[in-house]
Homo-oligomer: A and B are copies of this chain.
Amino acid sequence: MQKKAPKIDPSLVADFPLFNDMKKEDIGDILEKGVAKHYKKGDRFFDQFDEATHFFLMLDGYLEVSKTTEEGSQVIMRHFGVGELFGVAPAIAQKNYPATSRALVDCVAILWENKFWDLFLVEHPQFIKNAYSAIGQRLAQSQERIVEMSTEQVERRVAHAVMRLTHQCGVKTESGILIDFPVSRQDIAEMTGTTLHTVSRLFSAWSTKGLMQVGRQKIEVLEAHKLALLAQGH
């Protein structure tokens, strides 16, 4: 399921925002303390309620973080891609992971044991600062999403979700922007608090308008500008 990867070269990660304003040697020191692992598509990095023992940095691939309610509904909280820190429970004094994280494609990630957070706090404060900056952005995004859920109706929310996916996980093609991993209608529903049926209907409509091109677990946005207008409520 997981095997060690060769040592990571600092220059491969130096341009991640997480390592902003840091010297190569500091980056190297941090990388040395972690362990790189491969994860196959579908593997879980950690499960909701697991004791939080590590924090992670994605080197290659995409993952989704989701929460499951007592009644069994799943809500996809967000996606992470290359260069992003995740599973940062130790950074905010949470004993357990609040959600499950799952590899959407084959991935490579570095994991550090919790104790290194406190060490880096002393030895590499810039790293910690960069990390908290990212965490702050996530808090802000969470709150934006609460506003969205409170005030916008389904079509706008779905448009927003697709836009976010294109920004975070999109690759340019000749015709538009393609989401780089399989996304089902159900997934989109779980990102927006609606049903797969409603998503399917919206996608059909947008598809006939030429706004996007959809397939089985495939989304390609053709006219991002028009989608943005929808997200803004036009």
Q: Which residues of B contact A146 (CB under 8 A)?
A: 75, 77, 142, 145-146, 149
Asked whether any CB of chain B lies closer than 8 Å to the CB of A119, the reply is: no
Asked whether any CB of chain B lies closer than 8 Å to the CB of A205, the reply is: no
Picked from B98, B133, B190, the residue with its CB within 8 Å of the CB of A92 is B133
Picked from B132, B139, B151, the residue with its CB within 8 Å of the CB of A142 is B139
Report if A77-B143 is in contact (Cβ < 8 Å); known contacts: A132-B91, A150-B149: yes
Whole-angstrom CA separation of A71 from B140 in the bound complex:
19
Q: How many chain copies does the complex carry?
A: 2
Picked from B136, B137, B151, B190, the residue with its CB within 8 Å of the CB of A75 is B151
Picked from B69, B125, B139, B192, the residue with its CB within 8 Å of the CB of A121 is B125
* Nearest-neighbor residue (CB-CB) of A132 within chain B: B92
- Residue total for A at the interface (Cβ-Cβ under 8 A): 36
Interface residues of A (CB under 8 A from B): 67, 69, 71, 73, 75, 77, 89, 91-94, 98-99, 121, 125, 129, 132-133, 135-140, 142-143, 145-147, 149-151, 190, 192-193, 233
28 A-B residue pairings within 8 Å (CB atoms): A67-B147, A69-B147, A69-B151, A73-B151, A75-B147, A75-B150, A77-B143, A89-B136, A92-B132, A92-B135, A92-B139, A92-B140, A93-B129, A93-B132, A93-B133, A94-B136, A94-B137, A94-B140, A99-B143, A135-B139, A138-B139, A139-B139, A139-B142, A142-B143, A142-B146, A146-B146, A146-B149, A150-B190
CB-CB nearest 3 A-B residue pairs: A92-B136, A150-B193, A93-B133
